[in-house]
A and B are shown apart, each in its own frame.
Chain A
Amino acid sequence: MQIDGLHFSPLASLFGGLLIGLAATLLLLFNGRIAGISGILGNLLKPSTTGRAWLLCFVLGLIVSPLVYRLFHALPASSVLVSDKALIIGGLLVGFGTRLGYGCTSGHGVCGIARFSGRSILATLCFMLAGFVTVFVVRHILGGV
């Protein structure tokens, strides 16, 4: 294994993680809600959901966050190196999979693990494993999509 010393960003990533944890903490302490993004989006899409205004407020906050960031600083580098076809297939898998699996990186990976939920730990192991395997197959066996 070779470490990417050029792009490894321990301090920024740790600080970003602290902010994510703080946001989840404040949402739970003030509103009693879990900051699981796929659950929030899924419940917004579901016709039977009642009291969806806060869901919309949270999602709007996320959507405008890059604009807030830009008030203080230019947005950091970001690139998407995959094809449009991969984006569509990946998007469908992420949307369907997170709903079937009851959560995503935030709901299971952060909030679920934070309260020592066995199912969330298992779910996180599953999506991490699938992520590692997929990148290995795509990059090192198929040679990119």
Chain B
Amino acid sequence: MRFLVAFLTGILFGLGLIIAGMANPTKVQAFLDLAGVWDPSLMLVMGGAIPVASIGYFLAKRRGKSILGDVLSIPAARHVDRGLLLGSLLFGTGWGLTGICPGPALLLPAFHLSQGLSFLLAMLAGMAIFELFSRFVLHKPTDQH
């Protein structure tokens, strides 16, 4: 059942990304291009997603456990560290350069096979490099949202 929920919510999430225009990197870059001809659509994507996710969060928190009986895996509040700031700045740089973030990266090969795979494989390589970096340089276990 948990696997089915994960699969179906993955599909729903993906459909949301496609309908929202997030599977079009050029549109995402048009949102990030404040000095050009600006496309504000992405503000509405967040404006739609955040309130609904917020309701979900408060409902889940009030229940205390998930409907299928799992403990809620919500990241515990942690201090802001250099990794949070530097990592987010690096991510934003890559996002601006391409107009692609991790969710749409998984859909893009269905739209543009070779370009989509180039980005996706590079992104997975970047994640793998981080694993090596955190294990051998930072000596820190990795954990995230």
Chain A contact residues, CB within 8 Å of chain B:
1-4, 7-10, 12-39, 41-42, 45-46, 48, 53-55, 57-69, 75-82, 84, 86-115, 117-120, 122-124, 126-136, 138-140, 145
Contact = CB atoms under 8 A, between A and B. Distances in A.
Given A25-B56, A93-B97, A95-B125, A31 B68 contact: yes
A86 B73 contact: no
Size band of the interface chain B makes with A:
35 or more
Main secondary structure of the interface of B (DSSP, over half): helix
Given A22-B16, A100-B130, 19 more contacts: A1-B34, A13-B45, A15-B48, A16-B16, A21-B50, A28-B72, A87-B98, A87-B118, A91-B118, A93-B97, A97-B88, A101-B85, A102-B83, A110-B50, A129-B92, A132-B34, A133-B96, A135-B96, A138-B97
Contact of B126 (A9, A46, A94): A94
A50 to B, nearest CB: 13
A57 B6 contact: yes
B44 A58 contact: no
Given A14-B45, A135-B32, A57 B7 contact: yes
Main secondary structure of the interface of A (DSSP, over half): helix
Contact of A59 (B45, B71, B95, B106): B106
B53 A111 contact: yes
Contact of A132 (B50, B96, B141): B96
Contacts of B133: 96
B112 interface: yes
25 contacts: A10-B44, A13-B20, A13-B21, A25-B53, A26-B9, A30-B9, A31-B68, A32-B65, A32-B73, A38-B145, A57-B3, A59-B10, A62-B107, A63-B110, A69-B14, A78-B26, A78-B112, A91-B126, A99-B130, A110-B49, A111-B145, A120-B145, A126-B85, A135-B32, A140-B35
A3 B67 contact: no
B110 A75 contact: yes
Interface string B38-59: 1111101111111111111101
Given A7-B39, A32-B70, A75-B111, A17 B80 contact: no
Contacts of B36: 2, 135, 139-140
